[in-house]
Structure formats: structure tokens, C-alpha cells
Homo-oligomer: A and B are copies of this chain.
Amino acid sequence: MEIRELQSSMARLYVERDRARGRDATFRWLTEEVGELAKAMRTGDRANLEHEFGDVLAWLASLANLEGIDLETAVARYAATCPRCSDAPCDCPFP
């Protein structure tokens, strides 16, 4: 699935609710999902871990819809080489 396709689907399913909830409450919900991801990383339930990764990405797409940001454009600089050092793999100073 394309990133843009996911974001469009999230808009079709949820944008009216997202608008009614508002950007701050939607951001708060995103962080709630990040917390659930943290918990899933601790418990070791693979199905739950997959579920929570999906929820974080879905809520990030909902928030991007509210903010008018195209996620696929936003992340395009990671598509080929490191946006900082321009190498692949990244050769930036580490850590």
C-alpha cells in the first residue's frame, strides 16, 4: 500500500471525526498510541505489537490530514540516501 493511499483511506474513514475532535486531542490520541506501543514492546505479544505499530501509523496519518501535510512527501527524503550525509548506508558520525 502506498503511504498516500493509507492517508487517503484515513481521511475517508475518519476526517470528519478528526475535525470534530480537533488537532490537540488528535495529537494527544497519537501519544496515547505511542504509549501503547511502548507497553506492547515490553509484553512480547507479537500480534499486539503489530497492532500498536499500525495504530501509531494510522493516528499519525489522521493528524497529518488535519494539518494538511502529505506524509509521502514529508518522508520522501529518506527514500534513497541519508538526507544528512547523502550516503547509503548512512555514514554520519555515530552515536
Contact = CB atoms under 8 A, between A and B. Distances in A.
Contacts of A56: 60
Contacts of A74: 50-51, 53-54, 57
Contact of A9 (B41, B53, B80): B80
Interface in A1-49: 1-3, 5-6, 9-10, 12-17, 20-21, 23, 27, 30-31, 34, 37-38, 41, 49
B1 A1 contact: no
Interface of A: 1-3, 5-6, 9-10, 12-17, 20-21, 23, 27, 30-31, 34, 37-38, 41, 49-51, 53-54, 56-58, 60-61, 63-64, 67, 69-82, 88-90, 94-95
